[in-house]
Structure 1
Amino acid sequence: MDRVTKLASQRAVVIFSTSSCCMCHTVTRLFRELGVNPTVVELDEDPRGKEMEKALARLLGRNPAVPAVFIGGRLVGSTDKVMSLHLSGNLVPLLRNAGALWV
């Protein structure tokens, strides 16, 4: 859990992902299209990935635990929560407040 929170707090937007997850790719692409350069932690490519995935599953209360999106060091959630924020117009202000967007 400590590794997850440490990584999540190091950048404005952190996405915990796996390289084969299409929803992870979709969420990452959304952020990039908005002009955000997220840090993407590919759990299947990290030696401690399984440990982090278990911690994320506990945080999210579900498995699979990816994608798990953190904005400003705080857990936002998965694809459904990110898309809900985006469609309601609340994602961009959240990104601005976290320092991920300047426009």
Structure 2
Amino acid sequence: MEMALCRQNDLIRTTCGKTVHPSYFNRLLYGQTQIRQYQWVQSDLDRITLNLVVDRALNAETLASLEKQLRGDVDAQMVLEVRLLDAIPKTVSGKHRFVIGMAGPR
């Protein structure tokens, strides 16, 4: 079985040197039917933003659960910021990027 490849800038890196495949982040939102679009964007080794376009906002319990999962599975220092947007722009090529990591290790 061959593992699907992803762009290097789709990988999420952590303060402890761990690299996380984007599929992990995509699975975190399964079952959240109020989400129309989402995008995870890593801004620093210990910070990730979840951009959301939603029919109704995620409740505080769901958000706390997401952050707990990130800290348990990805990095104990990971901070989650959630931004509600009207739309998430596509790339110049017309694609939607679900996960955007930092470019290369720091």
Scaled by the length of structure 1, what TM-score is found?
0.29
Q: Which has the higher helix share?
A: 1
For the pair shown, which has the larger CA radius of gyration, 1 or 2? 2
Q: Which has the higher strand share?
A: 2
Scaled by the length of structure 2, what TM-score is found?
0.28
